[in-house]
Amino acid sequence: MKKNKKTKKIKKAVKRNPKPKKAKKIKTKKPRMVSKKTPITEDAILTLIEKGRHRGFVTQTEIINTFPGLEADIKGLEGLYDRLESSNINIIESGQVFQEDKAREYEEKKKVELELEEASTSDSVQMYLREIGKYPLLSSEEEVELAKKIEKNDEAARQKLAVSNLRLVVSIAKKYVGRSPNLTLLDLIQEGNIGLFKAVEKFDYKRGYKFSTYATWWIRQAITRALADQGKTIRIPVHMVETINKYQQVVRRLVQDLGREPLSEETAAEMGVEVDKIRYIQKISQDTISLEAPIGQ
C-alpha cells in the first residue's frame, strides 16, 4: 500500500511539472521575388508620362501593355502610380468607367482647360475658348446622323457638326503658335476653322472613319497653307512646310547633342535625305530682310 501511495504521488508530481515542450521552429517566409518578366525601365516610364501629359490621362490597359505582369509587383505598381499622379496625370479604368467617346471628351476638355490657362493674358482668346466650350462633343453615332442630314442639305446639322469640333481646331492651332510672327493664335484658329468647314462639306460617313480623324487633315492643311502664304513674304510650297518644321526640330536637337550648329551633312544624315535637299531647305526657310532695315539686322 505504501508503494502505491508513493507511485501516485510521483505521478501527480509529473503532471504538475510536465516535461518542457520542444520549441517550434518558426518558418520565416522568404521575400517574394519581383517578377523578372517586366523590368520597369526609366525610359518606358518617361514615355508613358509624356503620353499622359499630352492627354492628361493614361488608361490601366496602357499601363499593363507597357509593363506586362506589373500587377504582381505591388510596390512597383504603386511607385508607378505615384510617379503619374505627381505629374498630374489621371489613371482611367479602361473599358469600365470611360468608354471611347467619354475618354475622347475628357481629353478634349483637358486640352481646352490648358488653353484657357495659357491664354489668360489674352482676353479675346480666353472669351473665345470659353464660348466654344459650351458646345457638347458628339459621339460617333451622332456624327453619322448629322452627316446623313447634311446630305439632304440640312443647314442646322452642318452648323452643329462644325461648332461641336471647334475645340479640335484650337488644339491643332496651338501647335503652330510661334511659327510665324505675322500669325497669332486667333489667326491660326480662324484659318483652321476654314479647314474644318471644308471637312464638314466633304465628310463621307460611309467610309467608316470618325469625323475628327478626317477633319484633322483639313484643319492642318488650312493652317500650314496660311503659314506658307502669310507667314513669309516669299511663298513657300505647302508640301515643304512640314519638311521645314522637321528640319528645324532636327537642328535644335543636334545643337543640344553636339553643343554647336550641325553641319549640313550631319543634318542630312539625321533626316535621311541628300545634302542638296538640306541646302535647299536652308535657302527657302531663311527670313527675308527689308531693304529699309539697318545693316546688321
Task: Assess if residue 195 is contained within a domain.
Answer: yes
What is residue 243's predicted lDDT score, i.e. its pLDDT? 81
**Average pLDDT over every residue of 85-92:** 76
In a domain, 34, yes or no: no
Q: What is the DSSP string of 22-73?
A: PPPPPPPPPPPPPPSSS---HHHHHHHHHHHHHHSEEEHHHHHHHSTTGGG-
Residues 227 and 264 in one domain: no
Q: Indicate which CATH number applies to the domain containing 212.
A: 1.20.120.1810
* Structural domains counted in the chain: 3
Mean per-residue pLDDT of the chain: 74
Same domain, 218 and 243: no
Which residues span the domain enclosing 256? 238-287
Reply yes or no on whether the pLDDT at 289 is more than 70.
no
Query: In the structure, what pLDDT confidence band is assigned to residue 149 with cuts at 50, 70 and 90?
Result: very high
Is residue 229 domain-shared with residue 280, that is, in the same domain? Answer: no
Least confident of 70-74, 165-169, 198-202: 70-74
Instruction: Identify the bridge partners of residue 57 per DSSP, sorted by sequence position.
Output: 90
Residue 5 in domain: no
Residue 270's closest CA among 286, 253, 285, 284?
Answer: 253
Residue 112 lies in a domain: no
- Claim to verify: residue 148 and residue 229 sit in the same structural domain: yes
Of the spans 8-17, 21-30, 253-262, which averages the highest pLDDT? 253-262
Q: Is 29 within a domain?
A: no
Name, in order, each residue with C-beta under 8 angstroms of 187's C-beta and a sequence gap of 6 or more: 226, 230
Q: Are residues 148 and 219 in the same domain?
A: yes
pLDDT band at 166 (very low <50, low <70, confident <90, very high): very high
- In this prediction, residue 169 carries a pLDDT of 92
Is there a single domain that holds both residue 155 and residue 213? Answer: yes
Q: Is the pLDDT of residue 202 over 60?
A: yes
Contact 211, 203 (CB under 8 A): yes
Distance CA 106, CA 178 (A): 27
Together in a domain, 73 and 161: no
Whether 270 is in a domain gets the answer: yes
**Whether 169 and 190 share a structural domain:** yes
Under DSSP, the state recorded for 260 is S
CA separation, residue 172 to residues 49, 219, 256 (Å):
21, 8, 27
How many angstroms separate the CA atoms of 68 and 44, rounded? 12
156 and 212, same domain (yes or no): yes
Taking the complete model, does pTM exceed 0.85, yes or no? no
Task: Give yes or no for residue 39 having a pLDDT over 90.
Answer: no
Whether residue 13 is contained in a domain is answered as no
201 and 270 share one domain: no
Q: Do 153 and 83 have their domain in common?
A: no
pLDDT classification of 197: cutoffs 50, 70, 90:
very high
CATH of the domain at 247: 1.10.10.10
Asked if 167 and 224 sit in the same domain, the reply is yes
